[in-house]
């Protein structure tokens, strides 16, 4: 479950209990903001809250404003200037500005629809007219609904935001539209229910990944060893073909056994998975590349494999190796077009 879904789900639960709720959304930030654009903070009428919109330097003011918005129903766009000395206190190198849009949430039925869209298996976008607060939702099916009507230029801007997976403002002819892009959950497919996997899986779950572990060895792939993940006990290449990794999927092979790892890698290389990695030393990886070349994989495909898996942080123990893999996976996700310092 991602941050947006977590906050909206809690807001929905409050709404079903009869509480009135406001939602604060980060719509623009300074360059080194601790919370990205589209971060959320939900506040109920008693001042209870979930989520965050900064490192703590503006939460108090936002919560106070949220209480006012709950009472009068009028949305507010807040702009904060953060001084350098305050920025240091919340972990930033320098100050800047942050804009937060605060609105009262609709009834539970409408909020439930938002939660379903935000946590669905297809791309969706929520478009908000700021500061008026009108909305429309655009779904992958092409369906559009809400009280906000977009013109052709605005549609094109929203489509560009969705294509680039980037939430932010899209300027229409005479108004500001904030586009929040919702994408399917990130997935991690791990081949091998080994010791490292017992640390890698929960780390990935905490980062919002849906984790699937593949291992035909039933003694390894047990719920006792790996709770809170999906376990598949078939051969890795068959499982990967069924799971169909997409551009929001990472595949990590950890068995250190060519009869499992090689078919899994060949299957993964035929998908748009954003991160593919394999455990092993540089020598082991060189031998692996030779085998995959003999199996028909070309150089461009083999360049996609991160091997040895993980950033070079000197990791030795299973939890350290898991940390290095998660770090490299995150870097690949967030900076796909650049080299990753510290990698192989």
Tokens representing residue 122 in the block: 């297809």
Question: What local confidence, expressed as pLDDT, does residue 92 receive?
Answer: 47
- The pTM of this model reads 0.72
In the chain, ranges of CATH 3.40.50.720 domains: 187-334
What is d(CA 227, CA 72) in angstroms, rounded to the nearest whole number?
46
pLDDT at 118 (0 to 100): 78
Other CB atoms closer than 10 Å to residue 71's CB: what's the count? 12
Q: Tell me, what's the pLDDT at 89?
A: 53
What the block records as the tokens of 4 is 């947006």
On the 0-12 / 13-18 / 19+ scale of CB atoms within 10 A, 267 is buried
Residues paired with residue 96 on neighbouring β-strands, in sequence order: 82
CATH of domain 187-334: 3.40.50.720
Among 47, 2, 32, 237, CA closest to 24: 47
Note down pLDDT in tens along the chain; length 344 residues. 567 888 989 999 999 999 999 999 999 887 656 678 999 999 999 999 999 887 677 888 899 999 999 999 999 999 887 665 555 554 444 456 789 999 998 877 777 888 887 777 788 899 999 999 999 988 877 777 888 888 888 888 998 888 888 899 987 778 999 999 988 889 999 999 999 999 999 999 999 899 999 999 888 888 888 988 999 999 999 999 999 999 899 999 999 889 999 999 999 999 999 999 999 889 999 999 999 999 999 999 999 999 899 999 999 999 999 999 999 999 999 876 443 444 44
CA distance 15 to 212: 33
Taking alpha carbons only, the member of 255, 310, 240 closest to residue 282 is: 310
SS3 content of the chain, % helix, strand, coil (to 5): 35, 25, 40
Burial class (CB in 10 A: 0-12, 13-18, 19+), 204: buried
Q: What is the pLDDT of residue 252?
A: 97
pLDDT of residue 344: 46
Spatial distance between the Cα atoms of 67 and 141, rounded to a whole number of angstroms:
36
What's the pLDDT score for residue 329?
96
Q: What is the model's pLDDT at position 78?
A: 92
The residue ranges of DSSP E strands in 162-221, in sequence order, are 168-171, 176-182, 187-191, 210-214
pLDDT of residue 87: 52
Confidence (pLDDT) at 277: 96
pLDDT given at position 338? 43
């Amino acid at each position: 479950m991602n941050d947006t879904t977590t906050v909206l789900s809690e807001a929905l639960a409050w709404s079903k209990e009869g509480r009135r709720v406001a939602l604060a959304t980060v719509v623009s930030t300074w360059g080194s903001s601790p919370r990205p654009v589209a971060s959320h903070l939900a506040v109920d009428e008693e001042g209870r809250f979930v989520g965050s919109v900064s490192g703590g330097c503006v939460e108090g003011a936002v919560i106070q404003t949220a209480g006012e918005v709950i009472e009068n129903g009028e949305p507010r766009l807040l702009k904060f200037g953060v001084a350098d000395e305050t920025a240091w206190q919340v972990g930033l190198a320098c100050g800047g500005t942050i804009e937060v849009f605060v609105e009262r949430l609709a009834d539970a039925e409408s909020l439930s629809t938002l939660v379903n869209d935000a946590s669905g298996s297809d791309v969706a976008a929520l478009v908000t007219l700021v500061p008026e607060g009108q909305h429309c939702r655009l779904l992958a099916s092409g369906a559009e609904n809400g009280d906000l009507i977009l013109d052709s230029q605005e549609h094109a801007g929203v489509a560009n935001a969705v294509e680039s997976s980037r939430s932010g403002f899209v300027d229409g002819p005479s108004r500001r539209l904030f586009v929040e892009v919702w994408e399917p959950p990130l997935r991690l497919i791990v081949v091998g229910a080994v010791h490292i996997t017992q640390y890698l899986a929960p780390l990935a779950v905490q980062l919002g990944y849906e984790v699937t572990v593949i291992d035909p060895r039933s003694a390894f792939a047990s719920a006792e060893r790996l709770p809170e993940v999906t376990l598949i006990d078939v051969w890795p290449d068959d499982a990967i073909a069924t799971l169909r990794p997409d551009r929001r999927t990472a595949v990590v092979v950890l068995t250190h056994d060519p009869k499992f790892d090689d078919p899994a890698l060949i299957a993964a290389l035929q998908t748009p998975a954003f991160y593919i990695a394999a455990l092993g030393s540089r020598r082991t990886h060189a031998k692996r590349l030779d085998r995959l070349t003999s199996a028909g994989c070309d150089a461009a495909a083999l360049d996609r494999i991160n091997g040895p898996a993980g950033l070079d942080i000197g990791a030795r123990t299973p939890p350290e190796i898991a940390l290095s893999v998660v770090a490299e996976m995150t870097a690949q996700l967030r900076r796909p077009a650049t080299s990753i310092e510290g990698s192989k």
